[in-house]
Amino acid sequence: MAAAFDLDESSRTLRLRGDWTVWTVAEVDEPLRGVAARLPAGVSIDVSGLGRIDMAGAWVIERTSRGGAFTGDHPAAERLIEVARRAAAPAETKPAPVAALSGFAAILDRIGRSVVLAVDESRATLDFFGRTLAVCARLAMHPKRIRWVSAVAVAEQAGLDALAIVATLSFFIGVVVAYLGARVLADFGASIFTVELVGFSVLREFAVVITAVLLAGRTDSAFTAEIGAMKMRQEIDAMRVLGLDVMERLVAPRVIAMVVMTPLLTFAAMIAGLGGGLAVCWGVLGVSPVQFFTRIQEGVGATHFWVGLSKAPLFGLVVAIVGCRHGLRVGGDVGSLGRETTSSVVQAIFLVVVLDAILALWFMEMNW
């Protein structure tokens, strides 16, 4: 069926009829150019009478509507036109070069640009964070839509496969903390309090921070690279054309896996860190394992354990969101993939350290 349209100039509504495909749009191309030249931007598009449509037809419609709204129902028209609208959006242009600055003016210029960039980045991250929470809330209401196979596969790659490196590094952190504590506290005749030092530092801070930083370097970069590679191969555009929600299919399984696995990895890091502290206390100070864990139980208590563990889901959420967001920002070249992967790791580690500092101060003010 040939492509056709009717224009209601009073209501600025363009009613489409027939098939709008690469084989039929040539017939209406010239008339539509006249419509686009005569009417202002924002023409309403009625797709209720539209037949078949492909990207050629979607681009011709978008060129005419110039950002107009859609009315009526069609199984594919709105999605295809939205893809054409994003593809036709003008690329961001760099500001025109200004006269070369020097000295103090150049410093102020660089600081100002950095502040603007940081504000824009913070706004974009918060926006993606909100959209991710909205998708997760929607999936919580409809659990059947969750891709459990993908979530379990990501949990294995991000969690079980990272267990060895997390435990090993936490063990040596416990060794270092215990050894330094024993040397410093020996000057005050309080070497026995090395046990409490290890317990406080490992349970409350080091285990969860080391776990989050390792996940930021290992898993966060993997998320960015995987999604970025899909973006470069236009697989994500294909998913959108097919009507698949990218947030549900790619982001939500990774967020679920990280929120579940980060506390488990943190628990393993706590055990390994205490094991490293025990090795030093037993070998250097002569504190037996029974005495070590008795002092941990009586002098440290469970509060510090729960404080450290409570931060793990938040850190896992941050790492997953940052990795997925930067993956979706990858362009069509390898250089963009490398830049976004680097930015993803740096931003994730920065946010983890800042959030840990804020939470540490808050927990201390709450006497927890």
Q: What confidence tens digit (pLDDT) does each residue in 163-193 have?
A: 889 999 999 999 998 888 888 887 777 878 8
The tokens describing 247, both together, are 């947030």
Give the phi and the psi of residue 70 in degrees, each rounded to 5.
-110, 145
3-state per-residue secondary structure call for the chain: CCCEEEEECCCCEEEEEEEECCCCCHHHHHHHHHHHHHCCCCCEEECCCEEEECHHHHHHHHHHHCCCCEECCCCCHHHHHHHHHHHHCCCCCCCCCCCCCCCHHHHHHHHHHHHHHHHHHHHHHHHHHHHHHHHHHHHHHCHHHCCHHHHHHHHHHHCHHHHHHHHHHHHHHHHHHHHHHHHHHHCCCCHHHHHHHHHHHHHHHHHHHHHHHHHHHHHHHHHHHHHHHHHHCCHHHHHHHCCCCHHHHHHHHHHHHHHHHHHHHHHHHHHHHHHHHHHHHHHHHCCCHHHHHHHHHHHHCCHHHHHHHHHHHHHHHHHHHHHHHHHHCCCCCHHHHHHHHHHHHHHHHHHHHHHHHHHHHHHHHCCC
Burial of 93 (0-12, 13-18, 19+ CB in 10 A): exposed
Q: Are 63 and 25 in contact (CB under 8 A)?
A: no
Residue ranges, the chain, pLDDT below 50: 96
Give the pair of three-digit tokens for residue 181. Answer: 């504590």
* Tokens describing residue 85: 């609208």
187 Cβ contact partners less than 8 Å away, ≥ 6 residues apart: none
pLDDT at 52 (0 to 100): 81
Tens-digit pLDDT profile for residues 63-100: 777 666 777 777 777 777 777 777 666 555 555 455 55
Return the pLDDT at 97: 52
- pLDDT at position 90 is 58
Contact 273, 305 (CB under 8 A): no
Contact between 173 and 210 under an 8 Å Cβ cutoff? The reply is yes
pLDDT of residue 268: 92
Confidence at residue 92, expressed as pLDDT on a 0 to 100 scale: 55
Structural domains in the chain, CATH included, are: 4-88 (3.30.750.24), 148-365 (no CATH)
Instruction: Please name which of 257, 255, 273 lies closest in space to residue 166, comparing C-alpha atoms.
Output: 273
Q: How far apart are CA 347 and CA 282, in angstroms?
A: 39
